[in-house]
Chain A
Amino acid sequence: MMTVLSFFNYWIVVVLMMIGFYCVIARGNMVKKVMGLNLFQTSVFILFISAGKIVGGSTPIVREGVELYSNPLPHVLILTAIVVGVATTAVGLALTVRINEAYGSIEDDHLGDEDDGDEQ
């Protein structure tokens, strides 16, 4: 039982990661794919932050009366990762807008429909 309780946070992260992964590969709509990618990224952040927490610690800002601080190093890494994630999302959504204009749809399966007219 203690094993389950101590591993519980990792399993939640794996479940969320797999849901995001499924969304990226099994849905054709591009906006849904980008959202799945963000889901995946957020689960990885939860993994890192939960690995840096110390039971009984508190936020890593030096102040009176606090003895034990949580590790600040994962916070720094995740801060950079969140901002890079939003940059990737913005570029992905801009690509989606351009694809929509060029082909008229944002579904994976319907992108080839325009080519049927070329064969005539």
Chain B
Amino acid sequence: MAIAIVRAKDLFAAAMLFAIYSLLSAALFAVLDAGDVALTEAAVGAGISTILVLAVLALARRYESAIDGHNLLALAVVTVTGAALIYATLDMPEFGAPDNPAQVHVGPYYVEQSYPDMGVPNMVAAVLASYRSIDTLGEAFVILTAGLAVYALLSPKPRRRKRRRRHLRRQLREHRRHRRMHKGSSS
């Protein structure tokens, strides 16, 4: 699926494959017992990201221009990085064992104490909004900043002065080339 997204030349098809990929990863999150994350990834990936990509496609070209040949340097970099990462994962703990280092330090405290402390059954919401409230405030600020950035980029009206100058410049270039050719053939 991911390789198909990389290779698709029609960007509309790539956007649809991207939505399917997001839905598949949301299903994977749901199988891995992450309810909140699955809901967010499904809404965000298959909803907002795809809609924004389609909106950009309506404003720009729909097809990607052809790539001649494979980019060998990029393939080499990717292979080396991938090999290094796979070598690094050989040290990682087993999948799902209860005494992993990730499960031992703060996790059990949250699992046991969040209901007696707060009276809220959803542990993820309790941690997000109360134990780690400042991080969520930072995240709200990030969303606000993104909204302001898009507003700053897209609210001035577009100006098309450059297009006309380029058109005139191209005419001038053609005219000069024409005159040079005619001068060469007549003399």
| Residues in chain A within 8 A of chain B (CB atoms) | 6-11, 14-23, 25-29, 31-32, 34-36, 38-39, 42, 45-46, 49-55, 57-63, 68-76, 78-80, 82-91, 93-98, 100-102, 104-107, 109-110, 114, 117, 120
**Contact call B5/A79, Cβ cutoff below 8 A:** no
Smallest distance from the beta carbon of A4 to chain B beta carbons, Å? 11
| A60 closest partner in B (C-beta) | B123
Instruction: Specify which chain B residues have a CB less than 8 angstroms from the CB of A32 in the assembled complex.
Output: 6, 11, 14, 64
Smallest distance from the beta carbon of B105 to chain A beta carbons, Å? 9
Contact string, B59-78, partner A, CB cutoff 8 A, digits 1/0?
11100110100010011011
Pick from A55, A98, A106: contact of B96, CB under 8 Å = A55
**Contact call A46/B25, Cβ cutoff below 8 A:** yes
Q: Which 9 A-B pairs have the closest CB atoms?
A: A87-B146, A55-B96, A26-B74, A117-B169, A10-B89, A71-B107, A18-B82, A60-B123, A72-B123
Interface of A: prevailing SS = helix
Cα separation A95 to B153 with both chains bound (whole Å): 7
| A35 closest partner in B (C-beta) | B18
**Contact call A50/B6, Cβ cutoff below 8 A:** no
19 more CB-based (< 8 A) A-B contacts, given A26-B67, A93-B55: A10-B92, A25-B74, A25-B78, A28-B67, A45-B29, A45-B37, A51-B102, A52-B103, A53-B33, A61-B35, A61-B123, A62-B121, A82-B40, A83-B44, A87-B146, A91-B153, A94-B150, A97-B60, A120-B172
Given that A25-B77, A31-B53, A32-B64 are known contacts, is A19 also in contact with B2, CB under 8 Å in the complex? Answer: yes
Interface of B: prevailing SS = helix
Interface residues on B, range: 35 or more
Interface assignment of B178: CB less than 8 Å from any CB of chain A? no
10 A-B pairs with C-beta separation under 8 A: A10-B89, A51-B102, A52-B103, A58-B33, A72-B110, A75-B36, A80-B135, A97-B59, A101-B158, A117-B166
Cα separation A73 to B135 with both chains bound (whole Å): 13
Cα separation A34 to B54 with both chains bound (whole Å): 13
